[in-house]
């Protein structure tokens, strides 16, 4: 990245499916390995919104809001548990172009809405409109259920969310990584009504047979490092 960034991540749904590690390995760059839990790799879709996105050190009021939708998995390199992003769909042409040109991230322009469903939940809709990309749509309503808990207190939840480095493949084929700093996650069990999801197929994945595991978080604040070439 050109500069370290500060932002908030809000109203997140973590939607995770177990996947055969060999299937996942075939979708990853050679220098990264699937990370597994209970013998499975995990494929993840995460709808949320960024708030107050800005260069590190600038006041929150200078930041922008950016609804986003990620397709990702869990990887390791040199023993460091990390995230690998297949795609990051986001609202806002200028933000997507800037992320691709300056930060070398696989962002795609999409029309996204995130608002309350009127019953304590979140209604999220996304339709990818990026020129030349495979079409992808996602529509869901989700909400927290049960009591809040700290992710490090649950081994599976910790595996899924407590990761402080992410990798992407740039348009030139290079692998890049960024470190992130934030407090541990507070999560809730969640329920979700996902009415449309063609994201996985757009990346060559079959629809998983297993039911997804859902977690919700109201969010936290994040600081990211500059992007570095692996």
Helices (H), the chain: 21-26, 93-101, 155-161, 199-202
The Cα–Cα gap between 191 and 208 comes to 18
Condensed to tens digits (0 to 9), the pLDDT of residues 173-190 reads 889 999 999 999 999 999
Give the tokens for residue 93: 């042409």
Condensed to tens digits (0 to 9), the pLDDT of residues 109-167 reads 999 999 998 888 999 999 999 887 788 999 999 999 999 999 999 999 999 999 999 99
pLDDT band at 28 (very low <50, low <70, confident <90, very high): very high
- Window from 78-82, 98-102, 165-169, 200-204 with minimum mean pLDDT: 98-102
Predicted local distance difference test score (pLDDT) of residue 102: 47
Predicted local distance difference test score (pLDDT) of residue 3: 78
Phi, psi of 48 (to 5 degrees): -175, -175
- Mean pLDDT over 197-211 rounds to 94
131: helix, coil or strand? coil
Predicted local distance difference test score (pLDDT) of residue 97: 46
CATH numbers and ranges of domains, the chain: 5-229 (2.40.400.10)
The mean pLDDT of the chain is 92
Chain position carrying tokens 């890049």? 176
Give the CA distances from residue 218 to residues 52, 69, 144, 187, 192, in Å, rounded to whole numbers and listed in that order.
15, 16, 9, 8, 15
pLDDT band at 49 (very low <50, low <70, confident <90, very high): very high
Condensed to tens digits (0 to 9), the pLDDT of residues 90-107 reads 986 445 444 444 455 778
**Among residues of the chain, what percentage have pLDDT more than 70?**
93
- Mean pLDDT over 196-208 rounds to 95
Predicted local distance difference test score (pLDDT) of residue 104: 59
pTM (2 decimals)?
A: 0.94
Predicted local distance difference test score (pLDDT) of residue 101: 47
State yes or no: pLDDT of 13 exceeds 60.
yes
- Mean pLDDT over 198-226 rounds to 95
């Amino acid at each position: 990245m050109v500069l370290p960034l500060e932002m908030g991540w809000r109203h997140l749904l973590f939607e995770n499916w177990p996947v055969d590690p060999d299937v996942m390995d075939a979708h990853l760059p050679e220098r990264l390995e699937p990370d597994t839990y209970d013998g499975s790799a995990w494929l993840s879709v995460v709808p949320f919104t960024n708030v107050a996105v800005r260069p590190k050190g600038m006041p929150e009021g200078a930041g922008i809001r950016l609804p986003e939708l990620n397709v990702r998995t869990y990887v390791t390199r040199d023993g460091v548990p990390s995230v690998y992003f297949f795609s990051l769909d986001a609202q806002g042409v200028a933000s997507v172009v800037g992320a691709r040109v300056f930060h070398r991230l696989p962002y795609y322009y999409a029309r996204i809405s995130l608002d309350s469903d009127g019953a304590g939940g979140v209604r999220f809709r996304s339709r990818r409109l990026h020129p030349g990309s495979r079409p992808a749509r996602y529509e869901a309503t989700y909400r927290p259920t049960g009591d809040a808990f700290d992710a490090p207190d649950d081994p599976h939840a910790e595996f899924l969310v407590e990761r402080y480095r992410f990798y992407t493949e740039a348009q030139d084929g290079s692998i890049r990584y960024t470190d992130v700093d934030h407090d541990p996650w507070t999560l809730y069990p969640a329920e979700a009504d996902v009415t449309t999801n063609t994201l996985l197929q757009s990346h060559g994945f079959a629809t998983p047979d297993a039911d997804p595991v859902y977690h919700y978080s109201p969010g936290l604040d994040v600081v990211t490092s500059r992007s570095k070439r692996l």
